[in-house]
Chains A and B, each alone.
Chain A
Amino acid sequence: MQISPHFNKIVESLMVEGKFGVCNGITRVNDVKSGSSTLRKSPSGDRFKIYIPYAGQTITWEVILDNSCPEEPPDFIFEDSDFCPNVADIKSLVNWDIGDPHCLTKVIRELLEHYKTFHERLLEAHSRLQFEYSSLLDQTELSRDLIEVYSERTEKKIGPINFLIKLPVDFSDIPPYLTKDNPGENSAVLLILFPSPDSSRVTPQLYLSPRVEHAFGGSGNLRIPAFPSGGCLLDYVPDVYKLLQNKVEKTVQIYERRKELMAAFLSHFGRSVLEFDADGFFDISFLFEWNDFFFILYIELAPSFPQEAPVLTFQSIYHESKEKPYSEVHDKYPYSPRWSGPEMATRIKTYILDNIQAFQKQSVMSGSL
């Protein structure tokens, strides 16, 4: 079923601009139906569900408009029946103007604010949770707009309770991530689950935006500590924040070192380059000629570079060994992580020149032509 043309603009605005909350997640629209009982030829969808990411959950609200009276403000069905905000408090609903393409987006934004307050109030009945929440607000740098809480409730009990916290890490120097899909803003978000108000088995999960994850070398590459039993968010969250900030600084530093070394190699040998990693600067290879003897040199940097020396692999283009081109790996040679990129490049060049004759000899003897 398609949305009625009366509401196209406001729904589109919601889908495009409706990025709410800590995660800035997009709002999805689905399950479009018509309130009208007669079959019509033209699209007449005037009720639909919206799915909004909030505090690690997806909340589903149903929006009910009326195709026959499009100027009328919408009704809502909230899946959480305890949430009943007073319509008079929702200013953008009171001032509903169908002519404004953003009117629905504004209402949803306001409703979400109320929803957030609703969940914050739910914590007040549980002293431990209330303490966790208010201590974060009062005693850390976190502000209210960086935290979302959600409590799952059944008749008998409350739980699990989610705390979604956006960590204000400075990602501005993170290396670029070139992809045609917009990788979005950089962020790190911590989702902490309390199974019940007084449980000690608290589980944290860290979510990184694509560019940050890419810079860290993949999702597996950052381990956060387990939540200590008897611990509290007031201590734990700043610890994770510091861990992340350190990781960012370190990542940026070693990225710059790789880039510097790569630039030095290119400035020495750019005219014989075969390929190089233009994203993370982890490897570069050259075709060299020495005394009419051509050979390939692969230079590979480990994630731990500059602590670990670059690995050099010489490869023959004439001789094979065991059905593959004859090659030699050299990873132990005079090296210091304190050398600058240009110095490293110069010394590696010297090392290559010192060893090329032996390599040539070995490849001739070990390999077949």
Chain B
Amino acid sequence: MAMEMRLPVARKPLSERLGRDTKKHLVVPGDTITTDTGFMRGHGTYMGEEKLIASVAGSVERVNKLICVKALKTRYIGEVGDIVVGRITEVQQKRWKVETNSRLDSVLLLSSMNLPGGELRRRSAEDELAMRGFLQEGDLISVQAVFSDGAVSLHTRSLKYGKLGQGVLVQVSPSLVKRQKTHFHDLPCGASVILGNNGFIWIYPTPEHKEEEAGGFIANLEPVSLADREVISRLRNCIISLVTQRMMLYDTSILYCYEASLPHQIKDILKPEIMEEIVMETRQRLLEQEG
């Protein structure tokens, strides 16, 4: 069992590590943003003593006359149409309670769920009794948010969504997942990724043939090949490195990070220096691509 040990070093402050000029205006709750009363108040601000004061810790964003503070670390706040990955925590009478890293547990009604046998079936009493047979505590699902009144309501109306099979879950902060047109990505390196808006990221082996996806109820428990496993582990470590360096997560950034990490061994990516190196390279590639 080999072990590497290092001599003690002083910790580098974060701004040095980031290396770029951080022109963001960061505030903490109670900080004055501006004393100019001409601005409209957005999320994360309130008016007190004729000054605009921040109520969350984050960076100030300004769009013309609207000032809002985008929080750096929050729980997931559900928006209609978001794709989320959740874990079942409770099986109740006609619904499931789903954990989605939000302030309240989300709700998945039996009537909003795909059932095997076709979409237009009426939900009968037997279905209610068999609820546990479909989804149990601990199961992972990918769903779409329907409406949120504090607690997010979910549905899986299309066959794309449903119970997830074998793979790896990575939990990150919801603010790091970039909003895009699609959240289901089949990466060319050989694995697929679902970037849930709630910060739950699901990495799984790409299914060989686009068979008729029955919403995943027939669980495929065959062993995944070693090559696929290595790709999935590498992707997981890359996502974690991007998250520790606070970079936005989307398919391009994950892919570039994966390619930058290829010269290293998978377990080496977890080391802090190698993490920084890889993310630096990814950042540069992304800047070049934009510029």
A and B are partners in one complex rather than unrelated chains? no
Residues of A within 8 A of B (CB): none
Residues of B within 8 A of A (CB): none
